[in-house]
Amino acid sequence: MTEKRKSIHGSWSGRLAFILAATGSAVGLGNIWKFPYIAGENGGGAFVLVYLLCIAVIGIPIMMAEVLLGRRGRQSPINTMRTLAQEAGANPLWRWLGGAGVLAGFLILSYYSVIAGWALAYVYRSAAGTFTGATAEGIASIFRQLTGDPERLLAWHTLFMVMTMIVVARGVRSGIEKAVRFLVPALFVLLIMLDGYALAGGAFDQGLRFLFTPDFSKITANGVLIAMGHAFFTLSLGMGAIMVYGSYLPERTSIAKTSIIISLLDTLVAMLAGMAIFPIVFVNGLEPGAGPGLIFQTLPIAFGHMPGGVLFGTLFFVLLVFAAWTSAISLIEPAVAWLVENRRVSRVYAAVYAGVATWGFGLLTILSFNIWAEFKPLSFISIFKDYTVFDLLDYLTANIMLPLGGLLIAVFSVWIMKRDDSLQELDMGDGPGYRLWYALVRYVTPVAVLIVFLNVTGLLDFVGLFGLAEE
Ligand code: PFF
C-alpha cells in the first residue's frame, strides 16, 4: 500500500463541507443562466433528455474519477497528474492534462465573470425598483442598455473578479465553507418560490411540455454535443476543478455517494430553473431561443409584477451572484494551487496573477456584446456562422475542451492507473458498484464522447466546413 499523501493547502473539515463546496462549484450560472437558454435554442425536451442521460452515464462516473485522482494525488491537477503518472509508470506528458485544465478554467472564467457581472448589475436594478411594473419590452431594453455599454460591463466584471480573487487569496476553507452552508439551501428555497409563481401565472404545463416532451426532430448532432458539453460544464468536470476539490477531501469519505448527491442537487437546480423560466417565456410571448439574455429578460417580468418583487428579485440576483462566485473560485483554484506549489508564491500573489490575467482576457467577451457584436470570426464554418467571440469561447471550452479533458481523465483512471489503486481509493469493495463504475469509465464514456465528436464533424462535410456559409 502506498503511503498517504497530504495536501499542502489544507483540507475540508469533513464530508458535508466537501459536498457543499463541490455543489457550490457545480451549481452556478450553468444551471440558472445557461441551461435554460441552450435548452431553448436546441428545441427543449429531446435536448433535456440527452443532457440527463449524459449526467447519469458520463457525468457521475467522471466525477468519481476526478475526485479519486485528486484525493490520491493531493496536489494541483498538474502535479497530481504528474505524480500519478509516475506512480503508474506512464508517460510524464500526462501532466499536460492538468495544464489543459488550467487553460480551460482560465478561458471559462474570463467570460463567466462577465455574465456574473450582469447578475451583479441586476441586483442593483432590482433593489432600485427598476423592474416594478415594467413590460417585457421595457425589460428587454434595460438588458440591451446594459450589454450595449462596454464600460458598464467592464465595471461589473472588474467587481466580480475582485470578489473572486479576495476569497481565493484568503484560502477557501473558512470563507467558502461558511458561505455555502447558508447559500445553497437559500437558493433552493427561492427557486421553489419562483416555480410557485410560474405555476400560478399560467402556461406552466406549456413550460413543462417544452422541457420534458422529447421531439427528436428538433435536435441535431451539434445539439447532442452541446447537451453533452453542458453535462461536463454544469458538473464542473473535465478541467480539474473537482479534482482539486477532491485533493482536499478527508480520507474516509465515500466518493461514490458524495458524487451522486452533488450531481442530483445540481440537476435539481437546473430543472427548477427551467420550470420557473419557460412558463414566463410562454405567457409573455417571448422566444425560448432568445440566447444568453434569456433569464435576464424573463425573470424580471415576474419580479416586476409579484408582491414583494423588489425584495425577492434582489434576493434572487444576490443568490445568483453567490452561485456564480462559488463556481468562479473553483475555476481559478487549479491555477492558484499550481502557482503556490511550483512558483513558490503566496496564495495572495497567486490569486492576483491568475485573476488579473483572466480579467484582461474577459475584455474579449465584453466587446462581443457591443462593439464586436457583428464580428463573427469563423463565419465561414456553417455551424459557427452566427458565433461571436464569446460564443466561440463558450463553444470551445464547454463542448470541446471539457469533454476531451473528461475523456482523458476516464482513460487515465481505468486504462493507465492500476485497478487496485482505484479500487482502494473508491473504497467500496470489488462489488457491482465498483464494477459498474469501471465499465462505464472504461468503455461507455470514451466511446460516447468519441461518437458525439465524430458525428458532429461528420456532419460538417468538407464543403459545409470550409465553404461559405449561406447568409
Ligand atoms: N459548474 C459551473 C456552472 O454550472 O455554472 C461552471 C463551472 C465551474 C464549470 C467550474 C467548470 C468548472 F470547472
DSSP secondary structure string, 206-274? HHHHHHHS--GGG--HHHHHHHHHHHHHHTT-SSSHHHHHHTT--TTS-HHHHHHHHHHHHHHHHHHHH
Q: What is the pLDDT of residue 458?
A: 62
Residue 402, C-alpha cell as written in the block: 471539457
* Rounded Cα distance, 246 and 12, in Å: 9
Number of Cβ within 10 Å of residue 383's Cβ equals: 18
How far away, in angstroms, is 31 Cα from ligand 1 center? 9
> What are the structural domains, with CATH classification, of the chain?
2-467 (1.10.4160)
Q: What is the pLDDT of residues 303-325, one digit of tens each?
A: 898 888 899 889 889 989 989 99
Of 187, 233, 243, 244, the residue with max ligand 1 atoms within 8 A of its CB, to mutate for a pocket test, comes to 233
What's the first-to-final CA gap in the chain, in angstroms? Answer: 63
Which residue carries 475584455 as its cell?
363
CA 426, chain centre distance (Å): 25
Instruction: Indicate the SS3 state at residue 343.
Output: coil
Q: What is the pLDDT of residue 463?
A: 42
Number of Cβ within 10 Å of residue 357's Cβ equals: 15
Q: What is the pLDDT of residues 160-202, one digit of tens each?
A: 999 999 988 887 666 667 777 777 788 888 889 889 988 988 8
Q: Look up the pTM and report it.
A: 0.92
* Rounded Cα distance, 225 and 38, in Å: 12
Q: What is the pLDDT of residue 367?
A: 98
Q: What is the pLDDT of residue 312?
A: 84
pLDDT < 50 positions in the chain:
1-2, 460-463, 465-471
Burial class (CB in 10 A: 0-12, 13-18, 19+), 319: buried
Q: What is the pLDDT of residue 284?
A: 84
Rounded to 5 degrees, what are φ and ψ at 164? -65, -45
| Closest approach atom of ligand 1 to CA 242 | 13
Q: What is the pLDDT of residue 29?
A: 95
Nearest residue (by CA) to ligand 1, atom 10, is: 236
| Closest approach atom of ligand 1 to CA 29 | 5
Q: Return the H-helix or E-strand segment holding 30.
A: none
